[in-house]
Amino acid sequence: MVRQTPIRSARTLGAAVYAARKKMGWRQSDLARRASVRQQLISDLENGIRIPRLDTMVKVLAALDLDLKVAPRQARPFDPSVY
């Protein structure tokens, strides 16, 4: 099971995708092929360079057998300077 870490930045989203991909034993190109996206997009995503459109992100997560979940914050209040 992938560790459930709150996603609050492009960097933490990329780290979660990277960890899930590594757990599957896949290369970036393997994930890209399964999600029908370019390998460069997977690289950019994992490195926190950019976040793809929501429909593309859902395809990447689905290829990793993951869901996107929106949940109430469990920790500190919102601080816009952190983002």
Which residue ranges form the domains of the chain, and what is each CATH number? 10-68 (1.10.260.40)
The average pLDDT across 50-62 equals 95
Displacement of CA 50 from its chain's centroid (Å): 11
Q: How far is CA 66 from CA 20, 30, 80, in A?
A: 9, 16, 27
The answer to whether 21 and 31 have CB atoms below 8 angstroms apart is yes
**d(Cα 13, Cα 8) in Å, to the nearest integer?**
8
pTM for the whole structure: 0.83
pLDDT at 44 over 70: yes
Q: Is the pLDDT of residue 83 over 90?
A: no
